[in-house]
Each structure stands twice: as structure tokens, then as C-alpha cells.
Amino acid sequence: MNRPNCFVAPTALAAILFATPNARAQSQDPTAFDRASFHGKAEVGLGLLGLPTAEVCTNRERKDLGCKRGDSSPTLELWQLFRPNPLFAAGAGITIGLFPITDAPKQELPGVNRDHKRGYLMAEGIARFYLLHGPVWEAWLGATGGLVVVSDTYSSSTNTTDRAYIGPRGITIRSEGYTIGLAAGIAKELTEAWSIGTTVRYALWSLPQIPARDSLKDEASLIGRVATLMIGINVGYRLSL
């Protein structure tokens, strides 16, 4: 009557031995990400751009208008990086100053009310050197360089005629220059593909010394060399190439 119990222990042992290799095989995901291989990474971030020493002017010949010192703006960043090995990455991206805060006094025309808006756009390349590249945390130092465009838009907010016109009721002055700087960052891996991090960037903008002007003698609000500092947070997505 008890003879079938003799087969319980061997059968259970055989089942355990058979299941162990299968469990190990399932735990080793063949699609796991290889960090040492050539791969890419896309980053999207929000930050704050500061121009602490900038002189924001709209007409430097008129002393009564004066200038304001310093500016800041929320920013949106988009970066595409290529990483051939764990120690180095390179890529390019754009940074957009969404709405600068400082607005210098502008000349008022008789019977015409005008608005002045300014925007920043940077298109840069970056090279990163990773000092720490662990499975959870990464830290890097880098260098940046590229182009910067400062846009000043003067638009009328008063309806001076009952006729309809095609196009904007104003004019945009664009100042183009180049930028060079240093950057540093740290990131934490959330999953094999996703990460969250923070960056700090310092750069010098080199803009034309002679400001561009429109027909009303409105000027580009920034000229010469401008020191900038930006702090931001970003979300990154890593993908195999």
C-alpha cells in the first residue's frame, strides 16, 4: 500500500533539477541592453537660462530709454547622442529660450502702441567624457559649440486702419553669432532604456558688435560677448544602433 510513496522523492528531485536550468534560461533575457556596444540616446529637457551680465537695450543712441542688465528664460532642450563606448559620447541638439523675462524700454511712436518680444535659439554640438559609468549612476564632463540666434520682434498692438493686411504687423531683427562652452551632468538609470538626469552649462555667446536696426531705428537687444549659465533636468531614452 505504501509502495507508491517510494517514487515521490525521486520524482520531486528530478522535477527540481529539470526546472532549474529552465529558470536560469528564462532569467537571461536575450534582448537585454548591452551598454558597452555602440548605441544612441535621445534626451528631452527643461531648464532655466540666465544671462547675468547682459545689457538689454532697444536703442543705444537714446540715453533716456536706458538699458536693463541681466535676463533669464525657461528653456526646452532636445539632444541626440551617439555613444561608441562607455567613456565617450558625441551628438548635437537645439535649445530654445521660450519667453525671456527682461524687456528693455522701447521707443514709443505717436499714436502707435508696440510690443517687443525676444527669443533665443541655440544649435550646438557636444562631446561628453564619462567619469562615472556604473549600472545605476553616470557622471560626465563635456564641451559644447555651435550657433546662437537672438530674435527681437517689434509688433504693433494698435489697429491703425480698417484694411486687412497679409502677414505679421511688425518686424523681426535677428542677430546671429556663435557659442562655445563647458557642460557637466549626472544621470540615474531608471530601466535599461530610460534615465533621468540634471545638467549645468556655461557658455559665451559672440554676437555682432554693431547691432542690426530696422527702419524705425529699433536695435537688436544684445550685442558683443554675453556670458550664459543654464541649469536643467532631462529624461533620456537609450536605443541600440
Per-residue model confidence as pLDDT tens for the chain (241 residues): 444 454 444 454 444 434 444 444 443 444 455 667 889 999 999 999 999 999 888 777 776 677 888 999 999 999 999 999 999 999 999 999 998 888 776 666 665 666 778 899 999 999 999 999 888 999 999 999 999 999 988 776 665 555 555 555 568 889 999 999 999 999 999 998 999 999 999 999 999 999 888 777 788 889 999 999 999 999 999 988 7
Burial 56-72 (b: 16+ CB within 10 A, else e): bbbbeeeeeeebeeebb
User: 118-156 pLDDT, tens per residue?
Assistant: 899 999 999 999 999 888 999 999 999 999 999 988 776
Distance (Å, whole) CA 208 – CA 226: 11
Cα dihedral sign, 30-32-38-41: positive
Which residues are within 8 A (CB) of 163 and not within 5 positions of it... i.e. 6 or more apart?
none
d(CA 146, CA 48): 19
How many residues are present in the chain? Answer: 241
Q: What pLDDT score does 168 carry?
A: 55
List, in order of start, the domains of the chain with CATH numbers: 43-240 (2.40.160.20)
